[in-house]
């Protein structure tokens, strides 16, 4: 069995952009792909927006950086030369920008038919919104999934950008790898139209399925939902000001949670009796507020009650589980 990185034979050109495009490139680089980043002169787009510097830009990790001004004919020719020697390409411009630069898919269709041309956008290459600006929050809103973060009578919660941008990066990376596999067998590449709105919608398929079965939703007349109204799937405040989460959806986990909390008078068989939920949630709220987050961690973490504390960014990196997996260090 080979010990070399999974994608060590893949050469990829990334045209620097914002958000999920660079993240997809880094994902592929982390798997061994030889990624050459074509950067604009001056500070990079991501660092300029976020106020960082290129030396500490995690989205450039594992990439060779080539600075080119694509508005200059000589630099544009150099970019074409780099693409001609690659297996795949990533670009994250608005539809039409790469074509106007003379770097669109049609330029390579005959000259480099094996090329996989990955396009990362929010709305996609086609459709009424294709050419308008947008960001993570907008794309998630249009899928219907943002509405599910709202408590009854309240506005939806703004999610972290990973919901849209992270999903978009993952979808683009997956699409590129799939297209590379096809090109290896057929000799023909393809354009991968990766739209955040499409990928989030796909990843949210289970939510739409649950909604169709009447267990998820918060519009007028919506029935009580275990994901919004139940006592066993929620965030609770603790005596110290911290918070914890419980998500004991399955009966065995719920029964164990009741036992750990000392709620011996509550019948676990009535878990989904929605009429019981308001009073029981009030009891859960008062109970969790009676102890510190550390005390609840000592009692519940590492058991099958489906529990986790709500951690800050620094705390998350230091948590024993994350530290053991080395996933939050230097990301």
Cite the active site residues: 135, 165
Task: Please write down the HEC assignment for all residues of the chain.
Answer: CCCCCCCCCCEEEEECCCCHHHHHHHHHHHCCCEEEEEECCCCCHHHHHHCCCHHHCHHHCCEEEEECCCCCHHHHHHHHHHHHCCCEEEECCCCCHHHHCCCCHHHHHCCCCCCEEEEEECCCCCCCCCCCCCCHHHHHHHCCCHHHHCCCCCCCCCCCHHHCHHHHHHHHHHHHHHHHHHHHHHCCCCEEEEEHHHHHHHHCHHHHHHHHCCCCCCCCCCCCCCCCCCCCEEEEECCCCCEEEEECCCHHHHHHHHHHHCCCCCCHHHCCCHHHHHHHHHHHHHHHCCCCHHHHHHHHCCCCCCEEECCCHHHHHHCHHHHHHCCCCCC
């Amino acid at each position: 069995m080979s010990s070399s990185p999974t994608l060590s034979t893949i050469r990829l050109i990334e045209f620097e952009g914002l958000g999920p495009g660079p993240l997809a490139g880094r994902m592929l680089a982390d798997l061994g792909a030889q990624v050459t980043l074509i950067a604009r002169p001056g500070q990079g787009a991501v660092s300029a927006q976020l106020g960082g510097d290129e030396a500490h830009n995690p989205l450039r990790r594992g990439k060779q950086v080539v600075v080119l001004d694509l508005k200059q004919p000589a630099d544009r020719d150099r970019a074409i030369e780099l693409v001609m020697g690659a297996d795949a390409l990533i670009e994250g411009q608005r539809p039409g920008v790469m074509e106007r630069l003379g770097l669109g898919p049609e330029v390579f269709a005959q000259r480099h038919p094996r090329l996989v041309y990955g396009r990362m956008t929010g709305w996609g290459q086609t459709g009424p919104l294709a050419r308008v600006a947008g960001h993570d929050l907008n794309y998630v809103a249009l899928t219907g999934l943002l509405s599910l973060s709202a408590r009854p009578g309240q506005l939806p919660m703004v999610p972290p950008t990973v919901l849209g941008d992270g999903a978009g990066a993952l979808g683009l990376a997956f699409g590129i790898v799939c297209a590379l596999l096809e090109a290896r067998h057929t000799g023909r590449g393809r354009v991968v139209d990766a739209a955040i709105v499409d990928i989030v919608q796909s990843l949210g398929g289970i939510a739409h399925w649950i909604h169709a079965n009447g267990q998820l939703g918060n519009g007028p007349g919506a029935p009580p939902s275990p994901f919004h109204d139940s006592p066993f799937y929620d965030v609770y405040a603790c005596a110290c000001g911290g918070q914890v989460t419980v998500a004991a959806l399955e009966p065995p986990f719920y029964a164990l949670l009741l036992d750990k909390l000392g709620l011996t008078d509550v019948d676990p068989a009535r878990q989904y009796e929605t009429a019981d939920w308001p009073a029981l949630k009030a009891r859960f709220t008062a109970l969790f507020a009676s102890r510190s987050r550390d005390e609840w961690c000592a009692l519940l973490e590492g058991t099958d009650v489906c529990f986790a504390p709500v951690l800050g960014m620094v705390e998350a990196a230091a948590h024993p589980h994350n530290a053991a997996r080395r996933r939050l260090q230097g990301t």
